[in-house]
């Protein structure tokens, strides 16, 4: 379960505080472990720089090392066509030239789904590398 905290920030596990400190710690440790697994797998693809590996909160963010052939928005669009919602964002003013993808690991998103997502990301990168898009990506979120 994820609740919306300050400024609409999704806080995974916040609704599980009734489980006590031990229960909450167990859930958050599992989420962090899954986030680390994703971050490691994404880094091993060799085309992304991992910005956040899920250590502080179970969120993985990453950007392309070379966005000249395709962008994170193309990756997001391609993943969406295959059933995955991995949003791409540009940063707020003074950093708007940085675009990244973000995965929020929530309760119920375990190793099996992480493996499937890593496979989908790898397949997407392979497709976009083999056949770079001839058009601008359609999606994206901007902080402006």
Q: Which residues pair with 12 in a beta bridge?
A: 2
pLDDT tens series, the chain, 144 aa: 444 444 444 555 555 556 788 888 888 899 999 999 999 999 999 999 999 999 999 999 999 999 999 999 999 999 999 999 999 999 888 888 899 999 999 999 999 999 999 999 999 999 999 998 887 776 555 444
Residue 48: enclosing H or E segment and its boundaries? strand 48-53
Query: How far apart are the C-alpha atoms of 82 and 64, rounded to whole Å?
Result: 20
Cα–chain-centroid distance for residue 117? 10
- Residue 16: per-residue pLDDT: 55
List the helix and strand counts (H, then E) for the chain: 3, 7
| Pure H helices in 2-110 | 20-44, 72-81
User: Residue 113 in 3-state DSSP?
Assistant: helix
Residue 89: enclosing H or E segment and its boundaries? strand 88-90
Q: pTM (2 decimals)?
A: 0.81
Query: How far apart are the C-alpha atoms of 84 and 80, rounded to whole Å?
Result: 5
Q: Which residues pair with 48 in a beta bridge?
A: 64
């Amino acid at each position: 379960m994820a609740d919306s905290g300050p400024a609409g920030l999704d806080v995974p596990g916040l609704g599980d505080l009734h489980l006590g400190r031990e229960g909450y710690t167990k859930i958050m440790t599992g989420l962090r472990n899954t986030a680390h697994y994703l971050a490691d797998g994404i880094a091993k693809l060799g085309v992304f720089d991992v910005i956040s590996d899920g250590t502080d909160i179970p969120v993985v963010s990453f950007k392309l090392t070379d966005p000249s052939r395709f962008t994170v928005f193309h990756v997001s669009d391609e993943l969406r066509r295959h059933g995955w919602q991995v949003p791409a964002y540009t940063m707020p003013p003074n950093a708007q030239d940085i675009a990244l993808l973000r995965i929020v690991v929530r309760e119920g998103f375990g190793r099996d789904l992480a493996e499937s997502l890593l496979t989908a990301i790898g397949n997407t990168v392979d497709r976009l590398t083999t056949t770079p898009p001839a058009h601008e990506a359609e999606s994206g979120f901007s902080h402006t």
